[in-house]
C-alpha cells in the first residue's frame, strides 16, 4: 500500500468527466500539498500539547 500511482488512477470518475491528464496531475499535486500541510499542522499541535 502507499505505492505512487499515476494521475488519474486514484480518481477514475474524474477522468470519465473529461478532465485532461494535465488537470488530473494538477489535482493530484494539490492533494499532496494539502496532505503535507495537514501533517505539518498536526505535528505543531502535538509538540505544543507535549509542553
pTM: 0.50
Task: Pick the closest to residue 11 from 1, 3, 21 (CA basis).
Answer: 21
Buried b (16+ CB within 10 A) or exposed e, 29-48: eeeeeeeeeeeeeeeeeeee
Residue reference for cell 501533517? 39
Domain boundaries, the chain: 21-50
Residues 23, 31 contacting (CB under 8 angstroms): no
Tens-place pLDDT, residues 4-45 = 555 545 666 655 677 788 888 898 999 999 999 999 999 999
**Strand, helix or coil for residue 23:** helix
Amino acid at each position: 500500500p502507499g505505492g505512487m500511482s499515476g494521475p488519474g488512477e486514484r480518481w477514475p470518475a474524474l477522468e470519465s468527466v473529461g478532465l485532461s491528464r494535465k488537470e488530473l496531475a494538477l489535482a493530484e499535486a494539490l492533494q499532496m500539498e494539502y496532505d503535507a500541510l495537514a501533517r505539518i499542522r498536526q505535528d505543531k499541535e502535538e509538540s505544543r500539547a507535549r509542553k
